[in-house]
Structure 1
């Protein structure tokens, strides 16, 4: 069984049973326009699938997992402890591209990862390795970009961080082998999905309050207008005979119910929060156009912890 390789805000490990419960008993191709950490995709292991995300570095990572798993593992094995001194044989061992002092090995690798947004150059394999290394050693496993697209999460504190993830990379590579991987706006699915296909939408959530926003996964963000566009896309897919399952925050209950989707509220615990004691259950909706009589009975496979 494949498992997610990356920690990712909004991951759906704890919601898999509820999502599977809305899946149709049979469907054509599987589409996931907001793949993120891929908890559902890797658990499902679909034989015919297309995944997409707006973050180009995330998509580049999945392409390298699919196409060069052993080379990626080899790069990851070469990294040092995040608290070690910067490597003088690598760039940015003294200061970043923006002239800031480099305090440790972690911050040197963060500066190397930010070559693409700050300098317009990158090596795809090295960038993929750096993404996983930073994901497993940064504060709280958080992915966040500033307005310029630079990854800006500080170092975390871990006793023995495992950034190589050999087994997960190899299993994920097998699942991704036949999948189409895209870096587009989510609306591409209007042209890609055929009647009878299944689309699962897991967008950056509409905030529960004015101060609850956490959609800085990429510099472009995901705003209220994007939420409206997504509702329009889901409605068009429904009219075209495409099966749709969607998760979002509880404040989106009425818009999807008013559009004719079957909507139910579920409790989900947030996987990423600066205070582990504050990772409480929050209202989350699951909306679908799949009638109860057309749904299957497949359940969640067990996922181990990170």
Structure 2
């Protein structure tokens, strides 16, 4: 079992037992089209399959962790404490692009990270290192982009933040070695998933209320039509003999129930919330086409027939 490297909104570490209880007795390849922090993937440590996310910088991070772990770790080890003074030898040591004062090292790193959406040249390895650094030092580990695609989370308050994550990177590099890492829409799965494979969908959730914005980890969002299209893709996979497990917010119960999936409500505590003292349990569904009779026996957690 490998720990996820990144904190990520909607992480599934607290839902792992419930997800495993829906696994089939055996499956061939494992696919995760909405990867995020990859809690289930890293817990399974599959030998092959695909992972995907539409967040280009997130996918770049996993590719760098897989292909260049030593270089990534070395670069992370060269970074300073977020509260320290900016590096005078790098860009944005005084002001950001808009002329606003850069007060500390964190905000300089954030401005350097945002080279990609602003059209500047960027280095993929450095961008990956900056993503992990910001993820471990920003406010509450939140990933959020503005409408222009720029990361805009303020600095967090940590006594001894670990942004190197050497052990996690090395283990993740090993697990990802034979994994096809993609940066595209979730529809790709209809072309690669074969009969007997297992697909886990963990899309950006439809908000439980008008004040909840679980889709705002990227500038694009994930709306009603996307949710319905995902349901249709899940149905297509079911017709092709692919094992499907999907998690979503409780308000999505009906559309999967009506589509013929086995749907149950589970409670899940949000791991990321703007109010750290208000991480209440919210209703979440798990939908699957795997019947109770086809599911693995208790105690088989994480085993697959590759």
Q: State the Cα deviation string for residues 236-270 of structure 1 (Å, max 9, x = none).
A: 11111111000000000010000000000000000
CA contact (8 A) 1:197 1:242 kept: yes
TM-score scaled by length of structure 1: 0.96
- The Cα shift of 1:221 comes to 1.2
Pair 1:205 & 2:205 matched: yes
- The Cα shift of 1:274 comes to 2.1
1:194 is paired with a residue whose SS is: coil
- The Cα shift of 1:120 comes to 3.8
Pair 1:299 & 2:301 matched: yes
- Tell me which residue corresponds to 1:107: 107
- Which structure 2 residues correspond to residues 214-229 of structure 1 after superposition, within 5 A? 214-229=214-229
- The Cα shift of 1:66 comes to 0.2
TM-score scaled by length of structure 2: 0.96
Task: Determine the C-alpha separation between the residues in 2 that align with 1:299 and 1:282.
Answer: 24
- Which structure 2 residues correspond to residues 1-306 of structure 1 after superposition, within 5 A? 1-297=1-297, 298-299=300-301
Task: Determine the C-alpha separation between the residues in 2 that align with 1:265 and 1:82.
Answer: 41
- The Cα shift of 1:161 comes to 0.3
* Pairs aligned (count): 301
Task: Determine the C-alpha separation between the residues in 1 that align with 2:240 and 2:97.
Answer: 49
Q: Which runs of 5+ in 2 are unaligned?
A: none
- The Cα shift of 1:217 comes to 1.4
CA contact (8 A) 1:17 1:300 kept: no
- The Cα shift of 1:98 comes to 3.0
Give the aligned CA root-mean-square deviation in angstroms.
1.1
Task: Determine the C-alpha separation between the residues in 2 that align with 1:277 and 1:96.
Answer: 33
Task: Determine the C-alpha separation between the residues in 1 that align with 2:223 and 2:96.
Answer: 31
Q: Which runs of 5+ in 1 are unaligned?
A: 302-306
Task: Determine the C-alpha separation between the residues in 2 that align with 1:99 and 1:221.
Answer: 29
- The Cα shift of 1:103 comes to 1.3
Task: Determine the C-alpha separation between the residues in 1 that align with 2:142 and 2:216.
Answer: 10
2:46 is paired with a residue whose SS is: coil
